[in-house]
Structure 1
């Protein structure tokens, strides 16, 4: 079974639906069974918990009555409670607490799970994730895996000794730096470090306290596992930026809306936004689609990013694409 982990920190009660979009997009494009490990705390409401379960159960396997997706809820509250509250302030900064939960995975997920694909919740998976799972499940030599931040199609040489890799003061090599929004984690190797190192979370806090890195745990993971990273094809973590794509609904990618602006906030400038709305329509949050889409389209706070003509074009494009979204729901 394919193992996927998501983090949900949801004090406003509106974030869980993005995890639902990830689940729906994975299962819409993948026939193999998938277990979604939802890392959460007490901000996940019973209603949203039920909706996440429903998001997975709606997609049936070839065996009648059996869902392709199952959900494993993992409450991180006890694990987080072992660390001083001040540590969270250091490591979170401007980011959500949810980003920390993946650092707990080696300790809190069941020991039978030895590998996992961690996905941020600002992601749409528009490909068969079994292809990615096949790559990472066959790996035995790397602790982490991801796509280079610059999305280079040419991965760096893996045989170079760490002593020969040039790094900055924080221990980072920009040529080898990965984006951690799609992150392969070899949990077996991470657990094997327990006897020689402190817990992953504790090491992250120490690193952040020392360097105050701008991207916090992503910087830590890149520095800590320099030379121990499996580099993945850029299609497994594609940032659409503000590009317009032909046949965007047919492109096989993991789309990552990793910038400050998200599709649910405003029109971001790319038609890849429509993929988010397409998969939202396939979740139990589908009744929120029209109100949320209208709010994003009319969010004048972000209009300064585009000319008046650009905004008009994007709005027209949104409505043109909506008929595709509704067609693809069938």
Structure 2
């Protein structure tokens, strides 16, 4: 290393002391590799022969003319080069751990309110799941405000924007930059990496990010932090002069060409560098015309390599091969690489414990590493960590708006139903489209809208088998339960075949099941013209999806508001031979294998449907709203949302039916459609209702408040609902 350092010192002094060298340095501002050509023709005492120099001047005269319009930038390059010379003359040997520790001791602490900027390329549904784990690990240790910059596609932007909007983490900002706007800069590169075109987008960050942003930490989505990110941010102090990129050396033999026989990698400096973690000096990169620089080198290398194997990493390394003075070697614990071919154990055995772990293998968490259990557990700790606990505020910085304001002790003590009221103001952290969703709605299409908790998960496959159309599903889960669901869905042969089910994770918070909040999440994410509002424990009759599409295409639900009622039945038999037709259902009804829904405990909920008339009906018929009516209905998109004050058990659907009736919706019963409620253990919420007098009293109080709110808003026409107890 010392020999290399002295050689660089000698070469730079040689350029500095010669008139010819200064001219060549100007040329090297745009063509740095030509320095090597010049050094080849220099004599032993450091000066070029006059004839040699004249040949070089003629050869490069045309290049100088091309640069005449950019003299200002070239002067800047000379200034930066002089700074680099000064650094070398100070005998800074950054490859030495001892030298690094000495430098680290002189680093200034990051001011507690300084914003740390982080750039991440994120596209598709899976990537949004991965990035949440990364963000959790950053938030867990951080003490500074953060600003995340996402270069993403539309899918990831919608998901992440809603996630952060509902997460409401103080002192965190987000910005999005659409990948389509810069695809033309990289789509010409043939890339065989599994990340596709998005694996090349880090190359365009200096162009994409705001010009006011001078430096940024760039991260892959498959890394996890084990320390405060401010410690990495401090290391920008080592990026000076021409050092514009901070990178960790590659921990596999990939760029040495030793992975397999006849393996020919892209050119790299030594072992090359991994681009999962990058310190990027954006200001200097822009000044040196980074975009033009990497493109020229990529074009040259693609003539022989044909395509990139490791996406942006190949091109970054090709650039550093030609410009080795651009890179600052980050200590390897800042990117402990866990690919199958990695030798990362030498890193974290010799130095401090890992700061960042990087699952840089297509197999991800199934890599072969003797310490993989330790790293997997570290990663899973953040996967399953309750993200609500990360809503802590940073004291001493600008006051952030409280996401869920707390009431005073006086308010709590004066209102016995305070916990119920508090629930309706909660904003639940929500991850939309948790799994892949690909569906193009038809002109008259119907989405089944429903919600569930982990104890009803077994109903999902049954429902999926009987409803082939799109489903919008809100799942109320903890972070750990979300991982159970993910494994369940990925292991299910039935569910893996479906890409028209939108799974929306609403994370647990509060004491009650927020049933109407969940319904509203699922309802808002429906993408079809019509929606079937159901519950997860009801199975539709065979062919109901196509039947409903046919119905909504034939009747006018635009000029006149209609709620199409699907008659509901129930069975107590876990092994029911499910009826395939209305006639079959009526037979089982007569045999008492099936009953009208809640006929014995809550008959008023569905009596207005008029099951007697339905038995012989051949055509649709209209029924009037009656007290406590709560039918399962098909409606057009754009209906009013459910009232979120009703949580847990009781009046959650009744309140919505009242609102629809108040707004003039007609309840129209379909004569050839039905759903059947399947038996299951009682929910926790209904147990609370049955056993807790306070629960029942508070529900009654909320009902009265809801009725009075309707009366104040809608006046006289809402008076009839005031009589409801």
1:198 matched to 2:292? The reply is: yes
1:98-145 CA distances to partner (integer Å, 9 max, x unpaired)?
A: 222211111110111111111101110111111111012452131211
1:198-228 CA distances to partner (integer Å, 9 max, x unpaired)?
A: 2645754653454234323212111212312
CA positional deviation for 1:184:
1.4
Aligned ranges for residues 189-268 of structure 1 at < 5 Å? 189-194=284-289, 198=292, 200=294, 203-204=297-298, 207-211=301-305, 212-226=307-321, 227=324, 228-240=326-338, 252-263=354-365, 266=366
Classify 1:225/1:21 alpha carbon distance in 2 versus 1 (closer, same or farther; 3 Å): same
User: TM-score w.r.t. structure 1 length?
Assistant: 0.68
Classify 1:79/1:239 alpha carbon distance in 2 versus 1 (closer, same or farther; 3 Å): closer
1:102 matched to 2:202? The reply is: yes
User: What residue in structure 1 maps to residue 146 of structure 2?
Assistant: 34
Distance 1:17 1:169 in 2: 31
User: What residue in structure 2 maps to residue 24 of structure 1?
Assistant: 136
1:122 matched to 2:222? The reply is: yes
Contact 2:333 2:355 in 1 (8 A): yes
Distance 1:148 1:205 in 2: 24
Partner of 2:199, secondary structure, is: helix
Aligned pair partner of 1:290 in 484, 491, 513: 484
CA positional deviation for 1:40:
0.5
Number of equivalent positions: 261
Cα RMSD after superposing both structures: 3.4
Classify 1:198/1:237 alpha carbon distance in 2 versus 1 (closer, same or farther; 3 Å): same
User: What residue in structure 1 maps to residue 270 of structure 2?
Assistant: 174
Distance 1:84 1:143 in 2: 21
CA positional deviation for 1:91:
3.1
Partner of 1:172, secondary structure, is: coil
The more displaced of 38-47 and 185-194 is 38-47
Aligned pair partner of 1:187 in 252, 263, 282: 282
Contact 1:4 1:37 in 2 (8 A): yes
Aligned pair partner of 2:172 in 69, 93, 107: 69
Contact 1:2 1:34 in 2 (8 A): yes
User: What residue in structure 1 maps to residue 250 of structure 2?
Assistant: 149
1:179-214 CA distances to partner (integer Å, 9 max, x unpaired)?
A: 1111111111210122x8626457546534542343
1:8 matched to 2:8? The reply is: no
Classify 1:207/1:3 alpha carbon distance in 2 versus 1 (closer, same or farther; 3 Å): farther
Distance 1:7 1:231 in 2: 23
User: What residue in structure 2 maps to residue 157 of structure 1?
Assistant: none
User: What residue in structure 1 maps to residue 695 of structure 2?
Assistant: none
CA positional deviation for 1:294:
6.3
Partner of 2:213, secondary structure, is: coil
**Gaps spanning 5+ residues in structure 1: where?**
59-66, 153-167, 245-249, 300-330
Aligned pair partner of 1:273 in 373, 376, 392: 376
User: What residue in structure 2 maps to residue 156 of structure 1?
Assistant: none
Partner of 2:221, secondary structure, is: coil
Distance 1:22 1:204 in 2: 30
Distance 2:179 2:149 in 1: 12
CA positional deviation for 1:51:
1.3
Distance 1:293 1:268 in 2: 21
Classify 1:84/1:187 alpha carbon distance in 2 versus 1 (closer, same or farther; 3 Å): closer
Contact 1:117 1:185 in 2 (8 A): yes
Partner of 2:191, secondary structure, is: helix
Classify 1:96/1:274 alpha carbon distance in 2 versus 1 (closer, same or farther; 3 Å): farther
User: TM-score w.r.t. structure 2 length?
Assistant: 0.33
Contact 2:246 2:279 in 1 (8 A): yes
1:258-304 CA distances to partner (integer Å, 9 max, x unpaired)?
A: 112123xx5866121223322223445525222335678x89xxxxx
Classify 1:6/1:277 alpha carbon distance in 2 versus 1 (closer, same or farther; 3 Å): same
User: What residue in structure 1 maps to residue 461 of structure 2?
Assistant: none
User: What residue in structure 2 maps to residue 318 of structure 1?
Assistant: none
1:142-181 CA distances to partner (integer Å, 9 max, x unpaired)?
A: 12111111289xxxxxxxxxxxxxxx99532334x11111
Classify 1:169/1:254 alpha carbon distance in 2 versus 1 (closer, same or farther; 3 Å): closer
Partner of 2:177, secondary structure, is: strand
Larger RCO, structures 1/2 (Cα 8 Å, 6+ apart) = 1
Distance 1:77 1:70 in 2: 22
Partner of 2:279, secondary structure, is: strand
CA positional deviation for 1:94:
3.4
Distance 1:235 1:136 in 2: 16
Partner of 1:146, secondary structure, is: strand
Contact 1:145 1:231 in 2 (8 A): yes
Classify 1:275/1:51 alpha carbon distance in 2 versus 1 (closer, same or farther; 3 Å): farther
Contact 1:115 1:188 in 2 (8 A): yes
User: What residue in structure 1 maps to residue 239 of structure 2?
Assistant: 139
Distance 2:152 2:293 in 1: 19
**Gaps spanning 5+ residues in structure 2: where?**
1-114, 254-263, 346-351, 388-428, 432-478, 493-725
Contact 2:200 2:311 in 1 (8 A): no
